[in-house]
Amino acid sequence: METIKTIQIGEPRNAPLEMSPEEFRALGYRLVDQVAEFLGSLPRRRVSPGESPREIRAILGDSPLPEKGTAAATLLDDAVRLLVNHSLFNGHPRFMGFITSPAAPLGALGELLAAAVNPNVGGWVLSPMASEIEAQTIRWIAELIGYPREAGGILVTGGTMANFVAFLAARKAKLPWDARTHGLAGDGARRMRVYASTETHTWIHKAVDLFGLGLDSIAWISANSDQRINTTELRERISADKAKGDLPFMVIGTAGTVSTGAVDPLPEIASIAREHGLWFHVDGAYGGFAAVAPNAPADLRGISEADSVAVDPHKWLYAPLEAGCTLVRDRNALRDAFTQHHPSYYKLLEDREETLNFFEYGPENSRGFRALKIWLALRQVGREGYAQMIGDDIRLAKALFELAAAHPELQAFRQGLSIATFRYVPRDLTPGVANVEEYLNHLNSELLGRLQASGEAFLTNAVIGGTFALRACIVNFRTSLADIRALPGIITRLGADLDAALRPKALQDNIA
């Protein structure tokens, strides 16, 4: 029989992961120095490493799982070297791609503190102060965008998850049968309908697929030439679906489309939803926080009328990844969607005296302390600080749009929120002619690849009515007017080089 002596437990216990406070302090100071150095060096670095997947894999190497451990100091130096030299930096002043922001430096420090205390914000007893900080953060987010502060809410990983949570709350609230027990097959299985414009982010495809409604349940409503939902078509489609016995339950408005930053006519969608008894959800993952800026579109005020809103603190609150947030006007509707069983092993977690167990308000059980980085930043700069930074991002997009419009070799398309879209057009080509348009799409697509690989700036693209456009999205408190002014020169230089190499002979003959 094994005796206690044969087990390798010393006194004090010698666990391989444990670290003395002295060792932690030394490693931590060194790492903080390296991170500070990295942040200071960003403007002098390339935005993107311009290395292929094969090259990156070769640098990392393909060693098998280590059998034995390595000194922590060596490993941290190694990790710093790999990441600082071979990453794309969304914290770089010239990063203007997708919708991804730099991380607020205070948020990075907050993440260290959150990980060190490591509260499990699934149950209140596991995270007394952290749960209350999350609740306060959610109330502040609601106030920031003009939503009732009594609303229910939860922090999740990002905008997609935040939209999912709202979608599930809507489905639960609006189904006329007990879907918890009978699934979606109740009531003669009428076709459920969710209404969304063709500019809606792709989370909706995932949602109807994952949550059992199927792609056919999306009633796609066309967008007008300004990329906003066609509300006449929306009204007609809801009425027609009702007349044929379908079950309309939800309508989605987007506060800031991904391609061009268009804001749907939210107040009008709200009244259509009210008229038909539908759940009105606003996807504000990109533009929701712009409600705080004085120069934002007035339609954002319609957020206040929504049954639910998704916003994304890791976009325009500049929180380090990951953080999304769902707000639901009726907090019981949110709770109803996610609370059912009370297993015996969670006896201690049951609601008492208004304790707030976040596992009852969302899909996750164990949950990290996502709130701290957001809470710190909201306190660091206040509403005023965010109004300034978001307002400046929008002004920079306007400035870029105007520069493009005035440039003889650039054609400007749209500016919405902090997105500007435009393309490179060589002086001797006339847009509009079919074969010229085809070539310009090809040329600008190649140009974007060349620009991204150059490391000089990072833009992405939008396709607007079949036209390939370069797209700058400024959700970046480090971008300055000088960065914006540098773009036309960089783009036309790369464009001219490519045009010389790519222009088809037929097109040249056309012109001559």
Ligand X SMILES: *Cc1c(COP(=O)(O)O)cnc(C)c1O
Q: Which residue is nearest to ligand X (CB)?
A: 159
> Which stretch in 159-167, 179-187, 296-304, 356-364 sits in contact with ligand X by CB under 6 A?
159-167
Count CB neighbours of 99 within 10 A: 23
Beta bridge partners of 250: 194, 279
Beta-bridge partners for 415: 420
CB of 287 to ligand X, least distance (A): 7
Q: Does 375 bind ligand X (CB under 6 A)?
A: no
* Tokens coding 192: 């459920």
Residue 291 touches ligand X, criterion: CB under 6 A? no
What is the length of the chain? Answer: 512
Q: Does 286 participate in binding ligand X (rule CB under 6 A)? A: yes
- Cβ atoms of 404 and 411 within 8 Å: the answer is yes
Distance, CA of 296 to CA of 305 (rounded, Å) = 17
For residue 81, how many other CB atoms are within 10 A of its CB? 12
Told to check if 483 binds ligand X by CB under 6 A, we report no
> Which one of 119, 158, 261, 297 is in contact with ligand X (CB under 6 A)?
158
Pick the piece of the chain touching ligand X (CB under 6 A) from 119-127, 153-161, 374-382, 396-404.
Answer: 153-161
Residues 14-73 that bind ligand X (CB under 6 A): none
Whichever of 99 and 155 has its CB closer to ligand X, that residue is 99
Looking at the Cβ atoms of 193 and 201, the one nearer to ligand X is 201
275: left (phi over 0), alpha (psi -120 to 50) or beta: alpha
**Stretch near ligand X under the rule CB under 6 A, chosen from 29-37, 177-185, 250-258, 396-404:** 250-258
Check binding of 297 to ligand X (CB under 6 A). Answer: no
Smallest gap from Cβ 343 to ligand X, in A, equals: 30
Q: Per CB under 6 A, does 360 bind ligand X?
A: no
Among 101, 131, 160, 357, binds ligand X (CB under 6 A): 160
Measured in degrees and rounded to the nearest 5, phi and psi for residue 389 equal -65, -45
Select the residue interacting with ligand X from 138, 285, 394, 484 (CB under 6 A): 285
Based on the shown chain and the rule CB under 6 A, indicate whether residue 313 belongs to the binding site for ligand X: no
CB of 312 to ligand X, least distance (A): 5
Bridge partners of 462, per DSSP, are 469
Residue 283 touching ligand X (CB under 6 A): yes
Stretch that binds ligand X, among 115-123, 279-287, 411-419, 496-504 (CB under 6 A): 279-287
Write the CB contacts of 207 (distance below 8 Å, at least 6 apart in sequence): 163, 164, 167, 213
Strand order in the sheet with 218-221: 152-156, 324-328, 308-311, 279-284, 247-254, 192-197, 218-221
E strand residue ranges, 1-129: none
Rule CB under 6 A: say whether 102 interacts with ligand X: no
Q: Which of 174, 201, 373, 471 binds ligand X (CB under 6 A)?
A: 201
Residues 489-508 that bind ligand X (CB under 6 A): none
Instruction: Determine contact, residues 156/141, Cβ cutoff 8 Å.
Output: no
Q: Comparing C-alpha atoms, which of 490, 496, 491, 485 is closest to residue 427?
A: 496
Cis upstream peptide for 438 (omega within 30°): no
β-pair partners for 410: 424
CB of 144 to ligand X, least distance (A): 17
Binding residues for ligand X, rule CB under 6 A, total: 15
What span, in angstroms and rounded, lies between the C-alpha atoms of 237 and 229? 13
Contact positions with ligand X (CB under 6 A) in 81-100: 99
The correct pick among 111, 299, 307, 312 for binding ligand X (CB under 6 A) is: 312
> Which amino acid would we find at residue 274?
R
Residues at the contact surface with ligand X, assessed by CB under 6 A: 99, 158-160, 163, 201, 203, 254, 256, 258, 283, 285-286, 312, 324
